[in-house]
Structure 1
């Protein structure tokens, strides 16, 4: 199980728990779906219609939901992969309102950080090409300022097109552990030099 992202590195079709503990895969990876009226048709102002419609199609309760833009669209939080598949085929509510349910355009991503000195001289695009099969969609190098120029650090920010990331990334023969990504991390590294022997966890202190 992923250490910092509270999910399974395999994606929404994989299990977070063993089959005997979760036979229907109810507690799979969290997926965000967006429900809107088809072609801009307004959704009913009655939230019970929305709730009943979603639960009928999903075959039961989902993880949760919230409204956006004054109720003109809903963000659905779903863990069961079977429910995700059913809801993405949903075309109308119980009152006949035509709707579209699709993957949320912004929320189904996660980011983490790895620190690997062996990658310090490699280009981001070349690293991505090697690890794209592990679900990575973007690699961003963390640099720091030294003598009026930017120099590479061994740290890389990895982006995944799913809401969880794995415990480790395989870099050649190495299993490099992942760490949570914090947006202010770049500034922290600019203020703190690193050494080759310093572990990533100690650099964050």
Structure 2
């Protein structure tokens, strides 16, 4: 009896597998100024329906994300967008995913043999991790598998063994010249290399050992720029993990990271006013309750104003005297698409500018709320305006 066909075992998700297709003009002219309605009609007609996403890249090409492999196969045959001659092909890297497995049974099996046996499971590349033991490379059992699919399989079959996969998280890209992140050495704009120990770029030499105090070029702390415990390195590593696991771009990953580690405590003026107005509305007496006398109404209104003003006073006091804490605050600088992350150590309280913005916002909200409620009370009860004014003045 023949073993089951692995193509059938792992073909369940092929019908819903998405593909990235790149469309460009044959004369290599940008598609940036092409009529977007004609682009949509041409792509929808070719694919037999709407695709998932389509956007113009900086290179002037179209990057299309299809809903399934059927749309991708049809879109690869497109030859014209309106009257423009175009050609389509699959994206080189976006249609691949990398996973890592641990299998002790494959320690002494060659990469070529592993790839040949796992081709039926959409494995396109195999890399075995090794380590140095007594000046000899020894396999560790860790293997990185590249899959020709946009969805990482949960498991692979190694003979009769079921081995589970997990996403491969690469190390952050660090320039070997300036020692900053997110660009390689070939695109570095710095002329002289930076010292790995003291971050100086005037005395760097492979033959001279730096004896100055260590200083990181990224976080300015007292350690080498290549230290894997550097907070900037750890931040970059987590950003890569978010991009891979959440399948988002760098901008979205950065927003997720900031929401995790630096939740914003600053509330805008409009939001503060909205919250306080909602509180004021919620203090109204329901219609089904018996109506009170004018004196009781004035007292209830005064109490609600007192509560609201006290609440704002407490917020302002907390802003002026925040609890002591120790944290790392990151500031992001963008310059020519090279992102340099600079950290500042804050051992007492948040930055003065942040406190000032919060204080101005809450103080302004307090003043506006007080004036609004005062005008409303004068309009409804003009005879008791002086009592309300005296109550607000005390606060």
Using structure 2 for the length normalisation, give the TM-score.
0.38
Unpaired runs of 5+ in structure 2?
1-8, 173-227, 229-395
Report the counterpart of residue 157 of structure 1 in structure 2.
Answer: 144
Match of 1:81 in 2: 69
Matching of residue 102 in structure 1 with residue 89 in structure 2: yes
Structure with greater helix share of residues: 2
- Superposed CA RMSD in Å reads 2.5
Q: Deviations over 1:105-124 (max 9, x none)?
A: 33211111111111112221
Moved more, 54-63 or 143-152: 143-152
Cα distance in 1, alignment partners of residues 89 and 71 from structure 2: 13
Question: TM-score under structure 1 normalisation?
Answer: 0.70
Q: For CA contacts below 8 A with separation 6 or more, give which structure has more relative contact order.
A: 1
Q: Which has the larger radius of gyration?
A: 2
1:47-92 deviations in Å (ceiling 9; x for gaps) = 333223212322322110222235x201100122332222112111
- Picking from 40, 60, 78, the partner of 1:51 is 40
Which protein has the bigger strand share? Answer: 1
In terms of mean alpha carbon deviation, does 84-93 or 145-154 score higher? 145-154
Contact 2:32 2:56 in 1 (8 A): no
1:174 equivalent among 161, 164, 176:
161
* Deviation, structure 1 residue 9: 5.0
Change (3 A) 1:74 1:9: farther
Q: C-alpha distance in 2, partners of 1:11/1:79? A: 15
Residue 142 (str. 1) matches residue 129 (str. 2): yes
Residue 10 of structure 1: how far off its partner (Å): 2.9
State how many pairs are aligned.
Answer: 164
Q: Displacement of 1:11 after TM fit?
A: 8.0
Q: Contact 1:142–1:153 at 8 Å: present in 2 too? A: yes
**In 1, Cα distance between the equivalents of 2:141 and 2:126?**
12
